[in-house]
Amino acid sequence: MAYSDKVLDHYDNPRNVGSLDKKSKDVGTGIVGAPECGDVMKLQIQVEGDTIVDAKFKTFGCGSAIASSSLATEWIKGKKVDEALAISNTEIVEELALPPVKIHCSVLAEDAIKAAIKDFKDKNGSAAPAEAQKA
């Protein structure tokens, strides 16, 4: 299978790899996927006010899954929480030129963003805007 240059670039130089303190109140953690399905993404955000000031990820999965989550952290950093919620998997598919068989990787990345934001909101009551929480 041939990978796009962008997938290869994210694989070779993944952005924002790492972990934030999941116990911290301003950190939201989303873990999606399952080991037996061959992909698990952990995406974390650190929020100040309503802005995502930092994002980190770790991914178990194929190159496209790694690239999708790496790209997701790049995109959400500096965005308002609501803007991040609006990111859809089709944008990731386009940016990385994912083939049909890899679309689920982009879906997982979208789910990971939404799960991280939901976790942050759950931790902070209704402090943040509360629409469209369900991944």
Partner 1 sequence: MTNPIYLDYQATTPVDKRVLDTMLPFFTDAYGNAASRNHAFGWVAEEAVDTSRAQIASLINASEKEIVYTSGSTEAINLAMKGVGEMYESKGKHIITCLAEHKAVLDTAKHMEKHGFEVTYLQPDKTGAVSAEQVRDAIREDTILVAIMWANNEVGTINPIREIGAVCREKGVLFFSDSTQAVGKIPVDVEADNVDMICFSGHKIYGPKGVGALYVRRRKPRVRLVAQMDGGGHERGMRSGTLNVPGIVGLGKACAVAEADMEKDIAHSNGLRERFEKKIFDALDYVFINGDENRRLPGCSNLSFAYVEGESLIMGFKDLAVSSGSACTSASLEPSHVLQSMEVGDELAHSSIRFGFGRMTTEAHIDFAAEQVIDAVKKLRELSPLYEMVQEGIDLSTIAWTGH
Q: Are 59 and 69 in contact (CB under 8 A)?
A: yes
Q: Which is nearer to partner 1, 4 or 83 (CB)?
A: 4
Containing H/E element for 30? strand 27-34
Q: What are phi and psi of 5, to 5 degrees?
A: -60, -35
User: Could you confirm whether 37 is annotated as catalytic?
Assistant: yes
Find the binder of partner 1 among 4, 6, 9, 17 (CB under 8 A): 17
Count of residues that interact with partner 1, criterion CB under 8 A? 33
Find the binder of partner 1 among 34, 86, 97, 130 (CB under 8 A): 34
Q: What are phi and psi of 129, to 5 degrees?
A: -55, 140
Q: x/- binding map, residues 90-129, to partner 1, per CB under 8 A? A: -----------x--x--xx--x------------------
How many angstroms separate the CA atoms of 28 and 47, rounded?
Answer: 8
Q: Which is nearer to partner 1, 47 or 62 (CB)?
A: 62
Containing H/E element for 19? none
Question: Which positions are catalytic?
Answer: 37, 105
